Amino acid sequence: MKGTEVNTHQEVQDENVNVPVDATSKIGTWISVGVVGAVILATYFVLFGLYMARV
Q: Give pLDDT tens digits for 2-20.
A: 555 656 666 666 666 655 6
Residue 46 maps to a domain = yes
Gyration radius from the chain CA atoms: 23
Residue 30 maps to a domain = yes
Residue 29 maps to a domain = yes
Residue 2 maps to a domain = no
Q: CA–CA separation, 31 vs 39, rounded Å?
A: 12
Domain span at residue 49? 22-55
Q: How many domains does the chain have?
A: 1
Residue 27 maps to a domain = yes
Over range 10-38, report the average pLDDT. Answer: 78
Q: CA–CA separation, 15 vs 6, rounded Å?
A: 14
pLDDT at 48 over 60: yes
pLDDT at 50 over 60: yes
pLDDT at 42 over 70: yes
pLDDT at 47 over 60: yes
Residue 12 maps to a domain = no
